[in-house]
Amino acid sequence: MSCNNEIELRPFLVHEVSLEKNEIPDGVQMIEAPEFWKESDQGKGSVVAILDTGISRNHPDLKDQIIGGKNFTTDYKGDEMNFEDNNGHGSHVAGTIAAVLNNGGVVGVAPSTKLLILKVLTGEGSGNYDWIINAIKYAADWKGPNGETVSVMNMSLGGPQDVKELHEAIKYAVNEKNIPIVCAAGNEGDDDMATYEYDYPASYNEVISVGAVDTNYRIAPFSNINEEVDLVAPGVDIQSTYLGSQYAKLSGTSMASPHVAGALALVKVMGEREFGRKLTESELYAQLIKRTVPLEYTRQAVGNGLIQLKYMDKYRELVKFIQANF
């Protein structure tokens, strides 16, 4: 199979690009990641594969987080070892997942997690399905220098076509390799709860489809609505790393998805420590969904709700209080 330029970045809005720094961005704070760091060791030991436009390899908040990478595109004359970001989108996604905690710049959801960077989209933000499929299989089978394997994949990209080979690659990673795949739900929403918008790979049942809300817990008007949305995360005016040593504020479900990928990296460390064994993809999904808060929208708009990592702890504390006082 060979398809040219049929998959791309979902449309996203760049609000500003600057050298401005804000160590804990609002989105990271909103999902309660810093409160979860102690019990999850900040995601240490996890590896998140990012299938995107690459990464700004010398960015001070990202350079030490990269465990490996590969270029699947024709950029840089097809040099497989050059996965430098020439768009900005991939670097922004990477920062939200795992920008290092260094008392400067910005910090990601899981700042001790390592990143496997798979450049599958060109600087123009487009690619072909072969690149995506090959990268999914590569990530599923990847072994790091010390035997590390991929814990989570993030794909903030999509297209309108249901491609059989893409679906098969996803099923291989999820069902056979037990790797959760987190996808941006898509930005074709028309702000009408009665109409559905579908995007692939987000609409495959095997992946975790993430819609976007703003910091006031309102669904973003651009966020796709359909029966496959699993949950929502911050995706409006999100500050993260960008090209060079810059930072940027972007909006889109592309910005919501990495919040969940980072959260899964934390949940995996916490869960496997608690259970004393490796967790399956379905078990990790269950642990993730336990940490969502319902919102006053349809399930098709927000799925199980907003990811908030300390929600279960707060619920247990409330139960204990009620039992002790009433």
Q: Please give the full DSSP string across 134-152, using - where no structure is assigned.
A: HHHHHHHH---TTS----E
- Determine what percent of the chain is predicted with pLDDT higher than 90: 85
Helix, strand, coil percentages, rounded to 5, for the chain? 35, 20, 45
pLDDT tens digit string along 142-159? 999 999 999 999 999 999
- How does the average pLDDT of the chain come out, rounded? 93
Residues 49 and 97: beta-carbon distance below 8 Å: no
pLDDT at 323: 58
pLDDT-based confidence at 319, cuts 50/70/90? very low
What pLDDT sits at residue 42?
98
- The reported pLDDT for the residue numbered 3 is 45
**How far is it, in rounded angstroms, from Cα 234 to Cα 251?**
9
Taking the domains of the chain in order of start, what are their residue ranges?
Answer: 7-325
- By C-alpha distance, which of 256, 242, 254, 232 is closest to 99? 242
Q: Which tokens in the block code for residue 199?
A: 């995007």
Beta-bridge partner residues of 218: none
Rounded to whole angstroms, the Cα distance separating 93 from 255 reads 6
Assign domain 7-325 to its CATH architecture: 3-Layer(aba) Sandwich (3.40)
Is residue 287 pLDDT above 90, yes or no?
Answer: yes
| 297 has pLDDT over 90 | yes
89 tagged catalytic:
yes
> What average pLDDT does range 74-97 have in this prediction?
98
Q: What is the pLDDT of residue 224?
A: 97
Contact 234, 27 (CB under 8 A): yes
Q: Prior bond to 11 cis, omega within 30?
A: no
Using CB atoms within 10 Å of the CB of residue 11, give its burial: 0 to 12 exposed, 13 to 18 middle, 19+ buried: middle
pLDDT value of residue 20 = 67
Per-residue pLDDT tens over the stretch 223-281? 999 999 999 999 999 999 999 999 999 999 999 999 999 999 999 999 999 999 999 99
Distance CA 185, CA 225 (A): 8
Angle between helices 164-171 and 129-141 (to 10 degrees): 10
| pLDDT tens column, 90-120 | 999 999 999 999 988 999 999 999 999 999 9
Question: What is the DSSP secondary-structure string of 255-300?
Answer: HHHHHHHHHHHHHHHHHHHHHTSPPPHHHHHHHHHTTEE--SS-HH
Catalytic position from the list 52, 75, 199, 214: 52
Joined tokens for residue 198? 């579908």
Strand partners, 118: 51, 70
Does the pLDDT value for residue 161 go beyond 80? yes
CA atoms within 13 A on the CB side of 18: 9
> What's residue 316's pLDDT?
58
**Is pLDDT above 60 for 124?**
yes
Closest CA to 99 of 294, 241, 194, 311: 241
Strand partners, 210: 184, 231
Residue 209 among the catalytic residues:
no
Q: What are the residues facing 233 on neighbouring strands?
A: 212
Question: What is the three-class DSSP state of 115?
Answer: strand
Q: Which of 40, 59, 85, 89 is catalytic?
A: 89
Mean pLDDT of 148-177: 97
Question: Which of these is catalytic: 223, 251, 254, 257?
Answer: 254
Question: Using CA atoms, how far apart are residues 118 and 326, in angstroms rounded to an integer?
Answer: 55
More reliable by pLDDT, 261 or 322: 261
pLDDT of residue 311: 80
52 carries an active-site annotation: yes
